[in-house]
A and B are shown apart, each in its own frame.
Chain A
Amino acid sequence: MNGEPQEVLKTTYREAVREAIRDAMRRDERVFLMGEDVGRYGGCFAVSKGLLEEFGPERIRDTPLSESTFVGAGIGAALGGMRPIVEIMTVNFSLLAADQILNTAATYLHMSGGLFNVPLVIRMATGGGKQLAAQHSHSLEGWFAHIPGIKVLTPATLEDARGMLWTALEDPDPVLIFENSTLYNMEGELPVDAGAVDINHARVCRQGNDITIITYGASLFKVLDAADILEKNGICAEVIDLRTLRPLDDATYLSSVAKTHRALIVDEGWRSGSISAEISARIMEGAFYELDCPVERICSAEVPMPYAKHLEQAALPQTETIVTTVKRMVGTNG
């Protein structure tokens, strides 16, 4: 652009996802969207609002409440030459389709000795913070990241909400995209020509030398807020948005840890057996002698998500906790 200011549009995360779907539908006639209430209702989180009118019921398909079957049908349609985008309302409902995701989508290529790949994209809302209680609020993306054969994307920024879908659709294998539901109303600017983004690399969102804070999804913004506060306290945190939980981009966070010598992982999933545990282990394996202090983690409390606001907020990672933890880590191990 030769330094010329890019033309930008005001938008929201929701609109960015919608624009990504619209763009994909226009670019490739094999692409279609199916899921519960994606058509006439406009999507549970209004992501697909207006798409039925634009693309018609053949390509914007309302499904019955049959998660296992419409995900399985997505797998079949992908095998049959289409490029389906399957929307599952929330990650908790995805468990009704866990069999198809794990036993079929993730295994077909391998079980068939490389004959049949499954170019399927599954999008779903994830995360807490909206007082939706214990059956609509969990963060199970780290759990899905346990499964070989699928890719797990967690777009946090508008750029990624807009750009990850097309890259996922171009992928020959199943890709799961987790959209944190607290982000849908997030406003910001996107270049008018925003498009596909890389999905193989984590991103350093903020440079720093004192500590590496590794996170993804909605926690990214709590971490960035914490980094602002910490800067005023003379602590310069490097912030990494993982963006993709499987495969993990080890190189980016390991080289950061080699620079800062401290690592904190902020993860909205439960602590035990979490993606944060995996990253911590990899830091131990790959950068142990670079560390000035133990790797620490801030995760969600190990309870089913409570409804009451004060309890829900207490269960989730918070900016204040991040600030205090980093101060202690840097202060006592300086």
Chain B
Amino acid sequence: MSEGKIIQKGVHGVDCEHALCLLYQMMFIRRFEDKSAELYSAMKIRGFLHLYNGEEAVAVGAMQALTPEDAIVATYREHGQALARGISAGAIMAEMYGKQEGCSRGRGGSMHLFDAKTRFYGGNAIVGCGLPVAVGLALADKMQGKKSVTCCLFGDGAVAEGEFHESLNLAALWNLPVLFFCENNLYAMGTALKYSQSVTDLSKKVESYDVASSSVDGMDVLAVEAAVKKAVEFVRSGKGPYFLEFRTYRFRAHSMFDPQLYRTKEEVEEWKKRDPIDTFIHRLKDQGLINDTDIKELEEKAEAEINEAVVFAEAGTWEPVEDLTRFVYSERREV
């Protein structure tokens, strides 16, 4: 995903070039997800497909403050994070096609995107299982005297898992550089937070582990970026882990098999008024930073890049069946 062009000098403290970059990334993710849904219906993509529409501001805002040396541990709804982290759209699309040119050679699919170059450790699809791994990555960095931080993304559903509490405790106890990023979209699949948590204010839970925390509007990319920047500075300076709750909403179904019986259309529509892309566009327009032509240009650019990704995936090749049992054990020994 490349950055947007510079259109003019920013006003009201918003750096224009940067704002366009954020907007473009969000628009790109939205279009990528819509294209993925189309390709699912066309049976090009199979398995479980969890789309990120509505939550784009979280991934895009969150990735801004991280350096290439930092590590990411994500969930099964991770296309947005992977794209914002810089994994190529082609490699992700090829992965979902099951092609060996995919970022996980077609062994992982939509839920298991991996990339060594950007330290992207999945795509983890057991709810909560990424938190301990993130704690360990941070422990390794700390023990090796590195300045890296580990960014662990998970949903509100993970808060009900024991590993959430164990990991918060251990990261705080050992003062580890972990960013615990909770994408609270109010539903653990189809169960609303209020039906699964006795206390729905998530920051209260982490207080008991003496972990610094804050909540932020996850529909506002600038607010996300600012909050993450603060959190990263805190963690990188050696003060221990930080918990950030992003209040967000998933516009699409949980996966492609979800008739959404657990929420009303009115509720979804109400949240769509806070669409992170639309509201950001309005804001930029209000500030005179962007016009309809610019938006059209960005849309066309995203469309073209995504089409290229689809072409790449279509042209990809199937891993030979003879290779089925590869990657169960390492093929080379390295000490």
Contact = CB atoms under 8 A, between A and B. Distances in A.
Interface of A: 32, 58, 61, 63-64, 66, 68-82, 84, 99-100, 103-104, 108-117, 148-149, 151, 170-173
Contact of B140 (A63, A80, A104, A170): A80
B81 interface: no
Given A69-B163, A73-B133, A113-B327, 19 more contacts: A68-B132, A70-B170, A77-B136, A79-B133, A79-B140, A82-B144, A99-B126, A100-B129, A100-B132, A104-B133, A108-B122, A109-B329, A111-B104, A112-B122, A113-B104, A113-B105, A115-B116, A170-B333, A173-B329
Nearest to B161: A68
A114 B326 contact: yes
Nearest to A32: B143
B169 A73 contact: no
B158 interface: no
Nearest to B109: A111
Contacts of B267: none
Nearest to B329: A173
B331 interface: yes
Given A66-B166, A76-B134, A82-B144, A170 B335 contact: yes
Contacts of B138: 76, 80
Contacts of B280: none
Contact of B136 (A79, A109, A116, A170): A79
B330 A173 contact: yes
Contacts of A103: 126, 129
A220 B335 CA distance: 32
24 contacts: A63-B170, A69-B131, A69-B167, A69-B170, A70-B132, A73-B133, A73-B167, A74-B136, A76-B73, A76-B132, A76-B134, A76-B138, A76-B140, A77-B139, A77-B140, A80-B139, A82-B140, A104-B133, A109-B327, A110-B328, A111-B122, A112-B104, A114-B326, A114-B327
B275 interface: no
A171 B170 contact: no
A243 B135 CA distance: 33
A72 B132 contact: yes
A69 B152 CA distance: 14
Given A64-B170, A113-B104, A113-B108, A81 B144 contact: yes
B123 interface: yes
B103 to A, nearest CB: 8
A73 B132 contact: yes
A66 B144 contact: no
Contact of B124 (A64, A79, A104, A114): A104
Interface residues of B, number: 52
3 pairs of A and B residues whose beta carbons are closest in the complex? A76-B136, A72-B132, A80-B140
Nearest to A34: B139
B173 interface: yes
B181 interface: no
B106 interface: yes
B115 interface: yes
B133 A76 contact: yes
Interface string B237-270: 0000000000000000000000000000000000
Given A64-B169, A64-B173, A72 B131 contact: yes
A174 to B, nearest CB: 10
B12 interface: no
Contacts of A108: 122
Contacts of B112: 111-112
A172 B104 contact: no
A148 B328 contact: yes
B82 to A, nearest CB: 13
B272 interface: no
B22 interface: no
Contacts of B102: 113
B320 interface: no
B169 A66 contact: yes
Nearest to A84: B136
B296 interface: no
Contacts of A73: 132-133, 135-136, 139, 167, 170
Contacts of B162: 66, 68
B180 interface: no
Given A68-B132, A69-B166, A172-B334, A116 B116 contact: yes
A117 B143 contact: no
Nearest to A117: B330
Contact of B129 (A80, A81, A104, A171): A104
Given A58-B143, A172-B330, A80 B105 contact: no
B29 interface: no
Nearest to A78: B136
Contacts of A172: 329-330, 332-334
B93 interface: no
B211 to A, nearest CB: 14
A251 to B, nearest CB: 18
